[in-house]
């Protein structure tokens, strides 16, 4: 248990995790007095198709982190490609 308790504050790379989350465009909105957090990423192709991915509590948007680049980039989410 001591090893587990020591891991989170001392060995987990919080900044790497923060950078991973912040690669997306985050927004919030108020819907019927309920705060909604969402990610909005535009497609890069000539005629991108809008798509909405949703989840419920206690889930997280992070479950889609690997597929968002694949859905928004017709070249398959190539990280070497510059975004406009």
Q: What is the mean pLDDT of residues 33-60?
A: 89
Percent of the residues in the chain that have a pLDDT greater than 90, as a whole number: 58
Q: How remote is the C-alpha of 27 from its chain's centroid? A: 11
The reply to whether 76 falls in a domain is yes
79 against 68, higher pLDDT: 68
Count of domains forming the chain: 1
C-alpha angle 16-67-38 in degrees, rounded to nearest 5: 75
Q: Residue 32: give the domain boundaries.
A: 25-84
The reply to whether 46 falls in a domain is yes
Q: Is the pTM of this model over 0.85?
A: no
The reply to whether 5 falls in a domain is no
């Amino acid at each position: 248990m001591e090893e587990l308790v020591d891991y989170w504050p001392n060995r987990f790379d919080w900044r790497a995790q923060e950078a991973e989350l912040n690669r997306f465009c985050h927004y919030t909105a108020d819907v019927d007095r309920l705060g909604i957090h969402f990610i909005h990423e535009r497609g890069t192709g000539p005629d991108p198709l809008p798509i909405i991915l949703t989840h419920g509590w206690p889930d997280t948007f992070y479950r889609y982190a690997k597929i968002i680049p694949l859905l928004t980039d017709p070249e398959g989410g190539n990280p070497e490609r510059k975004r406009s």
